[in-house]
Amino acid sequence: MSQATSATPASKAILEMRGITKTFPGVKALNDVRLAVRAGEIHAVVGENGAGKSTLMKVLSGVYPCDSYEGEIHFEGKLRRFRDIADSEKLGIIIIHQELALVPLLSITENIFLGNEIVRGGMIDWFAAYAKTRELLAKVGLNEAPTTLVTDLGVGKQQLVEIAKALSKDVKLLILDEPTASLNEKDSDALLLLLLELKRQGIASILISHKLNEIAKVADSITVLRDGATVETMDCRTTPISEDRIIRGMVGRDMAHRFPPRSPTIGETVFEVRDWHVHHALHADREVIKGVNLNVRRGEIVGIAGLMGAGRTEFAMSVFGRSWGQRIRGTVLMNGQPVDVSTIRKAIDHGIAYVTEDRKGYGLVLEEDIRKNITLANLEAVSSATVLDEGREFEVAGEYRRALNIRCSGTDQLVVNLSGGNQQKVVLSKWLFAKPELLILDEPTRGIDVGAKYEIYTLIDQLASDGKGILMISSELPELLGMCDRIYVMNEGRFVAEYPVAEASQERIMRAIVNAGSSVHVPQ
């Protein structure tokens, strides 16, 4: 275990943030925060959801202007007062948000130089723009043509385009907010290698991530925030910092067990899918789900493992009211009886709920309050003769706020102002209020810190103990191994293996994916 060090001395720092305090109505989001980043280092900023990481980066990048907070920002040895994001970009401070700021139907070149076009004689010099794009793409390891549309790229390559865009602006300090949250392991590793290459070129990076194993791989320093304040800064150059050490700083306690202990009581089959076929939502000739069979029993947590693009989300959405895909065929059974799930309403009425991986895009109405989001999927239960009973709505929202420990000022708080973990609890509350028998959880802890994850895991375990069937999709194999009773392995639209958790391991699951042509193992 290494000892925490104090912030890096100003003489060695490209960036110093001193005494940063940011207050919103009724909430002090940042309180006397200190952060120092050395030139050419990878500096990780970690903390639970709501710790103030994103707020601090918005202060640094000028999203929150200089007159809206207290404290000082020193960059390259000078006091800086950023009025907006353009001010910080002029000095080479570039932020890449978790939600990528790319225009899908524009080319790579058009995205890289959008608002920063190369102009000759009042006209865009496309020859120069394409040449510069090829140079930038080579730096980030992409071989795509400059004219390629961003919509035709995978998420991992889009992330690299964002970094190429940053490099086009002569970046000196690159801020990455959860850059690997949506990436598979291969793309994540490629991005981390790129950060190390940028470091060799003298570019400093601030890395915000909940994936502590990735931070341990690349970070030179780690600053821990908790409850809007700086807890400590750790120097990774002398002694490696363990994940447990980082967690202790984040949550203020040891977490000997990442997952709650499970003592499952498994009953009869509650949900079954037989011979399920789905074609692509846009390309009808392309079969994406190819004859899938699956079952979930009461009290059982069943996982679906697989690489990005394996078809896990497409399968889940097609079952949930055919909300994705076309030319869908097959049978869905609840409690042994075939049911009609041809619309979302029918799927809900038959006891199926789906917690999407994209809580901001599809799971929540961000500009509405907690109360309205929680009751949205079951308005009949808070209505009388088609008239909404607001008193009952407040009562229900309050019950779920207490039961799921949603941290908020009140159920009339807008969901957009909640941390990621609390937003996820609101999504879960919405579907629990719909009274499902089967709960499909698609990446239920994506972008959520380790402390909030444990709370979500405990809730999932309690739902299973109450007799619900749980179908859990996750890209984190330790999560599936820690939570599930049984795991299906998916590859290219088929289940290629099925293991009870006692027989499963990360190596065995990955081997099943690699050897997808072999016969399916089904335990007796």
- Both structure tokens of 188: 């994540």
Q: Tell me the pLDDT tens digit for each residue of 428-450.
A: 999 999 999 999 999 988 777 67
Question: What is the average pLDDT across 292-316?
Answer: 92
Of residues 506 and 82, the one with the higher pLDDT is 82
**Residue for token digits 């940053």?**
166
Question: What is the average pLDDT across 332-347?
Answer: 96
Question: What is the average pLDDT across 236-260?
Answer: 75
Q: Tell me the pLDDT tens digit for each residue of 56-110.
A: 999 999 999 999 999 999 999 999 999 998 999 999 998 887 777 889 999 999 9
Question: What is the average pLDDT across 24-36?
Answer: 85
Of residues 185 and 457, the one with the higher pLDDT is 457
Is the pLDDT reported for residue 519 higher than 50?
Answer: no
Question: What is the average pLDDT across 248-273?
Answer: 82
Question: What is the average pLDDT across 294-310?
Answer: 91
Predicted pLDDT at 516: 63
Is the pLDDT reported for residue 125 higher than 60?
Answer: yes
Which regions of 251-344 does DSSP assign to beta strands (E)?
269-279, 287-297, 301-305, 326-334, 337-338
Alpha carbons 344 and 334: distance in angstroms, whole number: 15
Instruction: Point out the least confidently predicted range of 211-215, 301-305, 318-322, 498-502.
Output: 211-215
- Both structure tokens of 121: 């004689």
Question: What is the average pLDDT across 21-28?
Answer: 80
Predicted pLDDT at 228: 87
Alpha carbons 31 and 28: distance in angstroms, whole number: 7
Q: How confident is the model at residue 253 (pLDDT cuts 50, 70, 90)?
A: low
Question: What is the average pLDDT across 241-267?
Answer: 78
Q: Tell me the pLDDT tens digit for each residue of 365-421.
A: 999 999 999 999 999 999 988 899 999 999 999 999 998 888 888 999 999 888 778
Predicted pLDDT at 26: 64
Predicted pLDDT at 250: 77
- Both structure tokens of 75: 């960059």
Query: What's phi and psi for 446, nearest 5 deg?
Result: -60, 130
The whole model's pTM is what?
A: 0.62
Instruction: Point out the least confidently predicted range of 12-16, 79-83, 153-157.
Output: 153-157
Q: Please state, in angstroms and as integers, the Cα–Cα distance from residue 307 to each residue in 180, 186, 211, following that order.
A: 14, 9, 17
Predicted pLDDT at 524: 34
Alpha carbons 57 and 61: distance in angstroms, whole number: 6
Q: Tell me the pLDDT tens digit for each residue of 239-248.
A: 778 877 887 7
Is the pLDDT reported for residue 148 higher than 90?
Answer: yes
Alpha carbons 473 and 465: distance in angstroms, whole number: 19
Question: What is the average pLDDT across 447-468?
Answer: 86
Q: How confident is the model at residue 254 (pLDDT cuts 50, 70, 90)?
A: low
Domains of the chain: 1-92+172-255 (3.40.50.300), 100-170 (no CATH), 267-351+436-524 (3.40.50.300), 360-435 (no CATH)
Predicted pLDDT at 256: 55
Instruction: Point out the least confidently predicted range of 193-197, 241-245, 347-351, 401-405.
Output: 241-245
Element (H or E) spanning 57, and its range? Answer: helix 53-61
Of residues 8 and 330, the one with the higher pLDDT is 330
Q: Please state, in angstroms and as integers, the Cα–Cα distance from residue 6 to each residue in 155, 224, 232, 235, following that order.
A: 37, 12, 7, 9
End-to-end CA distance of the chain, in Å?
45
Helix (H, G, I), strand (E, B) or coil at 302: strand
For the chain, the average pLDDT equals 87
> Across the chain, how many H-helices and E-strands are there?
16, 25
Return the top range by mean pLDDT from 244-253, 323-332, 453-462, 474-483: 323-332
Under 8 Å CB-to-CB from 472, ≥6 apart: which residues?
A: 301, 302, 303, 304, 441, 444, 460, 480, 483, 484
- Both structure tokens of 167: 């490099």
Please state the separation of Cα 458 from the chain's center in Å. Answer: 19
170 and 132 Cβ atoms separated by less than 8 Å: no
Q: How confident is the model at residue 10 (pLDDT cuts 50, 70, 90)?
A: very low
Is the pLDDT reported for residue 249 higher than 90?
Answer: no
Closest by CA to 409, choosing from 369, 375, 455, 459, is 369
Pairing status of strand 494-500 against strand 486-491? antiparallel
